[in-house]
Every structure is written in structure tokens, then in C-alpha cells.
Structure 1
């Protein structure tokens, strides 16, 4: 007899985990729950989530409740008689009425080593804070925000070359592999869940606009971490001649490279083969890819060839 599973997820991060469920002969994915279609791009084209697109390719039933806690949404899930609910970056907190439905409980694949980075932006904060390692935790879901007992974990190193985009892919794959390893233990009753220590909890709320702006008075490494944490979405930025200038990539700061004494942080010091050097609070940050307002992303070399961002320019 197969285990009836409802899968809940929204972005690309969740798709490999859905695949793992579909590959398990003991599991029947009776429905996929994802966020409603949203307008995307300048033309605001109504677009399905990556999980919906994949579920439809697989011929699965798709549900897209605007609010999962509404009685009609709960009843639709109850009618499916799930044995287990698996979530991965779904985007809504499950109410108690849903948590109580499946006999094996509800589990979540979370992109951090809990209790560190509870919340919606764990990958962003791991990079912004310069962590050397992060990972994935599979936990039972509770009414709080990522507060449930932990079932399994896997660590994933963060390399200097990593960005939000590359870590998203690494953690997505790690989460799917961890799910594959955890499911047999969970379904057999062998899984040993461990409570989280709330005293060690660190939260990672969704990124706000003010967090995206580079503060040139801060240390170089902090701005470097911010740039890679926000690449590819939503992108770190600074101001140039009153317009937003997106900064997509920088060289890792050299601690030995200092800005001239008395130079205002944000001042362009030079523009050459090693990018656009900008003074920071403790040294120099070299920009190698950026995007002026109204233009496509380009290398620093391309912008330099246009005779722009000359030394002495102050970014804000």
C-alpha cells in the first residue's frame, strides 16, 4: 500500500525534492500545492510557479490556494486523505488544522542548519554574514516559524565563488538527497527527532529594500558579501548621478589594499583591468560586473571603455 503524500513548494528550489518523491515506489503524490500564478516581468505576464510547471508536466493535481488557512482550503486537503505532507519553500505557514491532517505529520525541507536562520531568506543571510558553511534541515512542522523538531541535517560549504544563485542550486540538490535518505527512516518510525534550542535561534526575515543598498562606509568584505548574497535577486545597488546602479559581482577584497587617506568612502579610485576600485570604510572594493539604470548588465571593462565612472566619481 502506497503512502499518500501532498507536496507543497513554490520556487525552483523545491523541484528536485518533488522529483525524489515521484521516484519513490512507496509514495503516491496525490496533489501538489503551490502559490497562485503571479504577474512577472515588465509586461506583467501571469506566470505559474516553477513547482506548478513541473507538476503539470508530471500530470499531477495542482492546488493554488491564496490563503491555505481558509476553511475551504483545509477541506480540500482533508479530502485527499494525506499520510504525509512535505513542504519545501512553499511560502505560507501551515495552520494547526493542516498540521494535524497526516498520520506521519508534516515535514519541511529548510535551507539552513536550524535553529540558525529561521525564516524566509536563510541563503541570503548565510552569505551576507560571511558564513563558511550552511546546510539543510528536515524538520517536523509546528505552528511557529521553523520551530519544529529536527529530523535530519546535512552541511554544505560556502566557497568564495558562491553567490545566492549557486548556493540555491547546491542546497536544493542537498535537500532532495537528504529527503531521499530521511523518508525510509521517517516512514518506518526509526527517525529520531531532536527539539531545537530556541536560545540559539537566529532569524532571517525577507530582505527589505534598505538592506540592498551598499554602504561604502562599511568594511569591504561586508559589501562583497552583500553583493554575492543578492545575486541574482534582487541585486545590491548604489547610486550614481542620482540613478540606481546595480552591482552584480566584485573581487574578494584584498586586506592589504588600502584607500588613500582622507578619501570619502564610495569614491572611485581607478578604473582598469582589475575592475572599478571604490574606496570603502576600511580599504577598497573592486567591481567587475554592474548595471547602470535602463541598461543591461555589463562588465566593468565595457563601462570603462565608454569613458564613464571616471576616478573621483562618488557613489552613494
Structure 2
């Protein structure tokens, strides 16, 4: 007999797992997700992707702004699920809920735990130049992503991988892993593995200041940064005091002794910029208030000079 499940998740990452549970006809008692948020220039109130799927299938939806001590928490506990499945829900579950299901609570986390615990694991894995990341399914506890691991699979990070690519891959992988895990978990065939907490690293939520390109870093590190934040939240720099988003760039096999941020040359293929070590070629930009454009389009509308600098400088 299949367990009665409460699903908790919010963004697109969680959707494939929820859809898999529906396709496999697991009894879904309800979905818990974050409140609707205002999005876009018009600040239109928008439901989370998980809510859209749940309502399409007439599944009860709970959206407490803060789950702990909320009125909804008591209602959710009264559902008495056999198992709770979470995927990028966005809040740590209180003990009162963790203790409800007999098969406990499991979480689909987009990293190779114990590395990159926290809210932005895919971003920071690419940012730090990791050669792989993956998905870990683990038991939940009140500490952040610290529970015993039930299953883990890795995916390589290539020289062209950006966070959007990896986000999609890992969301599908998480659903496939969950599909494989659940029957074995219910039968008691899974032996949990304790995380080595001594080597844990963290992936905090992205802050606005994290998005600015630091030209003193190496070309390779800046390339990691751009791909780690593409397509969201994006990286930016300044050109003639205008904010410019950088959507795509590549490292060149060149050496430069110029001050970081200096324009070394440009063509329709890209703008060559000196960094703290090596040269980065910008390929796709977006000036504040304008659309994304490749370098050839940028150069058609802007007069760029060799020797000028990108970034804000006080010297």
C-alpha cells in the first residue's frame, strides 16, 4: 500500500517531483508552499509553480508565511501523513511536524551533501568551480540540511554549464531518484548514511552585492561567477557609471599586465577585458534599461575605447 504523502515545495525545481508522485498515483493529502509573491515590473501577485500544479489536480494548498507557530501548522499536522516529502520548500520544519509521519520527512537537496547546505547550492557549486554537483535525498531534522543521507547521485559541471542548465537537470534527477527511492524506503531497504559534519560547507541565499563582478579576480573565477548566476539573478558591472549585466563570457588563452577591468580590444566576437589573472571576453551584455544584446549589437550603438575600464574605480 502506498504511503499517504504531504508534499512541501515552492519553485520550479520541486515541480517534477510533485508531478512524479501524481503520475505514480501516490495519495497526496496536501501541498505546503510559500505565499504568492509580487513579480515583474507590474508587481503582479504570482502563485508559486508548485501551487499551480497542486490546484490543477485539486490538491489542498497551504501557504503560511511562517510555518512555525502558524494556524496552518496544526491543520497540516491533523492530516497525519505517512511521509512528508520536501523539495526547495524554503523553511526549516518544526519538530512538531517532523514527528508526525511514521516514515519520517525526507528532503530533495540539490547538492552532494555535506557540501553546499543551504538555499542556493547550485549557484555556489558553479561559482566555486566544482567539477560536479548532484542531488542528495536525506532525512530531515531541525538543523539545516544535516540529516542522514538516503540516496545521492552526481552530475558533471562542464565549462559551459550555467545555473539554469543545472537547475533543470537536477530537478529531473531529483524526481527520478525519488521514484526509485520510495518503494525501497517503505520496505525498509535503505540504510541511512550519517553526514560528515566536519566537512560541511554552506550555500547561503544570494545577496545583491554577490552579483557584482570583481575584476581583480581571475578570468576563470569571473567566468564561474557569470555562469553561476545566469540566467538568475545575473551578474553586473559598470561601464561609464551605467550598470551593465553580463550574460555570457569566455576565458581567453591570453596574459595581460593591464589594470583589471581595462578594455584590451574588441570585435564582433567580444570585448576583451583584463582581469586579476588572464583575459575575459564578454559576449552578451545588457545595459540598464535596454534589452540583452550580443557584442556586435552593443558596439553598433556604443562607442567603446581601448584602455577604458569596466567597473567602479576610486583611483
> Normalising to structure 2: TM-score of the pair?
0.96
Structure 1 stretches of 4+ with a deviation exceeding 6 A read none
1:214 corresponds to which residue? Answer: 213
1:182 corresponds to which residue? Answer: 181
Q: 1:227, CA displacement in angstroms?
A: 0.3
**In the TM superposition, what whole-angstrom CA distance separates every residue of 1:235-290 from its partner, at most 9, and x where no partner exists?**
11111121211001102x13x3112x3x2110111110320111101121001111
Q: Distance in 2 between matches of 1:53 and 1:157?
A: 31
Q: 1:51, CA displacement in angstroms?
A: 0.7
Q: Does 1:16 align with 2:16?
A: yes
2:34 corresponds to which residue? Answer: 35
Which 10-residue stretch deviates more, 102-111 or 155-164? 155-164
Q: How many residues are paired up?
A: 311
2:85 corresponds to which residue? Answer: 86
Indicate conservation of the 8 Å contact 1:114/1:196, yes or no. yes
Indicate conservation of the 8 Å contact 2:108/2:137, yes or no. yes
1:44 corresponds to which residue? Answer: 43
Give 3-state SS (helix, strand or coil) of 1:238's partner: strand
After superposition, where does 1:1-316 map in structure 2 within 5 Å? 1-25=1-25, 27-251=26-250, 253-254=251-252, 256-259=253-256, 261=257, 263-316=258-311
Q: 1:21, CA displacement in angstroms?
A: 1.0
Give 3-state SS (helix, strand or coil) of 2:34's partner: coil
Indicate conservation of the 8 Å contact 1:219/1:283, yes or no. yes
Uncovered stretches (5+) of structure 1, i.e. residues with no partner: none
Q: 1:71, CA displacement in angstroms?
A: 4.4
* Root-mean-square deviation over aligned CA pairs: 1.1
Q: Distance in 1 between matches of 2:95 and 2:83?
A: 15
Q: Distance in 1 between matches of 2:172 and 2:214?
A: 33
Q: 1:10, CA displacement in angstroms?
A: 0.5
Uncovered stretches (5+) of structure 2, i.e. residues with no partner: none
Q: Distance in 2 between matches of 1:70 and 1:239?
A: 45
Indicate conservation of the 8 Å contact 2:64/2:70, yes or no. no
Give 3-state SS (helix, strand or coil) of 1:245's partner: strand
Indicate conservation of the 8 Å contact 1:149/1:195, yes or no. yes
Q: Distance in 2 between matches of 1:278 and 1:153?
A: 40
